Amino acid sequence: MVSKSDLIDIRRLSLQELESLVKELGQPRFRARQIHSWLWTKGARSFDEMTDLPKGFRQTLRERFALRPIEIDKVQHSLDGTIKTRFRLYDGHLIESVLIPVPEDKRFTVCVSSQVGCSLTCKFCATGRMKRVRNLEPGEIFDQFWLVNQQSMEHYGHPLTNIVYMGMGEPLLAYRNVWRSIERITDPEGLNFSPRRITVSTAGIARMIRQLADDGARFNLALSLHAADDEKRNQIMPINEHNNLAVLMDALEYFWHRTRNRISYEYIAFAGFNDQPEDADRLARLCRRFPVRVNIIEYNPVEGVSFTKSPEDQIDAFARRLRKHGVMVTVRRSRGKDIDAACGQLANKG
C-alpha cells in the first residue's frame, strides 16, 4: 500500500491530466471539470467537500492522491490594520503571508511567499538569514491567496484587490510553481483575478526575467534594486556579482519591449549608505531606458543587522531629487512593523 506521504498531490495535475485520470477510472469526462472547480474555484480542502462526486469515486481519489492544504498556525494584528499569518505546511514547515489593507483607497493587498526560507542571503533581510528548504507548491501559494482573501472579507468586508510575490523566498527561483499558481489564480474559468493586479518581485535573475518575457507574462515585475551601482549592490546583495546592473537592465528592457508590463524598482533607503544625492542621480540614470516607477521603502530593523533607516526628511529629499530628474516616485511608509510583518522582516518568529 502506498504511504500517505508518497501520494501525488492532486493539485499538481492540469485539467487535461484530470481528464485522462477520470477516463482511466471509468468516470465521465465532466468529472474532471468538477474536480478542477472544487480545487481552484471553490478552494476545497478535502475530497469529502466534493459533494457532487459519487462517494465511491471520492474514496478512490483519497486512496490515490493527496490534497494538502496549508493550515493557519498563528495570526498577528498590527495597530495599523496589517495582518500577518503564519501557515503550517503539510510537512511541518512554516511560511508567512501579510494582508496590507488601505481601506481609504479600496486597496487590499496580500504579500505571498514562494519558498520556505531563501537562498539569496541579502544582508538586510531576515528571510535571507534562513536556509532555503524547498519551493512552495502552486497549491500552497494559491492557499495563501484564498485564506487571506477570507481574512480580508472577514475584517474589512472587501476582497483582495492585489497580489505581490514579495514574501519569503525568491519567486524566480521557484519559477514553474509561481507561474502555475498565477495561472490558477487568473484562470477565467476559476477565480478570474486580473494579472494586471499581480506583481512578482525578484532580487534580479536576468535569465529568468528574459524567460518571463518569452513565456508571455501578463503580470507586473518589480526589481529589488536597493543600490544603483554595482559596488554598493554587491555589498548587500551577493546575487549582483553574477547578475550585475548592466545585465539586469538589458534583461528588463527585453521584458518591457516583449510584454509592455509595468516595471518598478524597490529601493530600501539605508541611512548613509544609499540615500545621498549622488545615489539619487545614479538611480535616475537607471530609469531612462524604459518606463519605470521607483518605490522608496523605509528600512525595517532586523535583529543582528547593522543597517539603520534613513530619516524621513532624507527620504523625502531623495524622492524630490528623483522627481526633478523626471522619475515617477512613491514613498512607501512601512506597515506592520510592530508585528515583524514589514518588508524584509518575515522570518517565522514566534
Catalytic residue among 111, 122, 125, 343: 343
CA 120 to CA 193: how far, in whole Å? 30
Q: At what angle do helices 277-286 and 312-324 cross, to 10 degrees?
A: 40
Is the Cβ–Cβ distance between 69 and 48 less than 8 Å? no
- Residue labelled with grid coordinates 494538502: 68
CA 120 to CA 305: how far, in whole Å? 16
287 is catalytic: no
343 is catalytic: yes
Catalytic residue among 96, 137, 140, 170: 96
- Give me the amino acid identity at 87: F
DSSP code for 291: -
CA 205 to CA 201: how far, in whole Å? 11
- The full DSSP string for 142-183 is HHHHHHHHHHHHHHHS----EEEE-SSS-GGGSHHHHHHHHH
CA 268 to CA 10: how far, in whole Å? 40
Residues carrying an active site annotation: 96, 343
